[in-house]
Each structure stands twice: as structure tokens, then as C-alpha cells.
Amino acid sequence: MYLYTADEERARQLDNQLWTFSQGSFVAHELWLGQGDSSQAPALIGAVEPPEDHHAVLINLAEDVPAFFSRYERVLELVDGSNPLPGRKRYQFYKDRGYPLDTHKIGSR
């Protein structure tokens, strides 16, 4: 899986959070800066195009749809409830192009 962030600073923050979140809930991952050999880690975090051999799951944490999204078998988009407009725009982007969409509401208001 590839966790795509808006910029390198956010990628580094997420990397750090996953290392320190909880001892019992570690997710094996690596920070991807767009250079070097492709990783064998099950999760990569980055703000640049991922290695060519990553194409199963993309988790988009940025406000825009990444240019490389179409190579993935599955794309997960998170919508920030305090600022839903970017998420709505991404939803419309996929809908306009005919992608099958599923939505899941998590949590309660």
C-alpha cells in the first residue's frame, strides 16, 4: 500500500506517528522519497510518485487526486469532516470518469 501525502513534511510526520503510535499496533512501513530501491515493506509513505511495482492500494491523504492514481487496483480517499470540500471535489473527479464508488461513514457527529 502507498500512503500519499501532500508534501514531504507530512510524510515524515506520518512516518514518525506510525513508529510511535502504540506498541501493540505497529504497521511495518518505510518513508519513500522517490529514490533508491523499491521497498519490501507492506506500506510506503511519501509525497512523490511511488515505485512502479506498487499498484495494489493507494491511500490518498492529500487534497488533490494524484496523477498516478489510475495504476492502483484500489484507491481510498479520506474526507476531513471539518473541511469536506476537497473530498467532494475528488469524489466528483472519480464519478465524472465513471469509476465505481463506495462510501463509508466512520464515526458519528
- What is the full DSSP assignment across 32-79? E-S-SSPP-SSEEEESSPPPTT--SEEEE-SSS--TTGGG-SEEEE--
Domain 2-96 coded CATH 3.30.70.3270: no
| Residue among 42, 34, 39, 43 at smallest CA distance from 3 | 43
Nearest 5°: CA angle at 32, between 29 and 33? 155
14-56 confidence digits (pLDDT tens): 999 888 877 777 788 999 998 877 677 889 999 999 988 889 9
pTM for this one?
0.89
| Average of per-residue pLDDT across 78-105 | 93
Give the pLDDT of residue 36. 73
Q: How far apart are CA 47 and CA 99, in angstroms?
A: 24
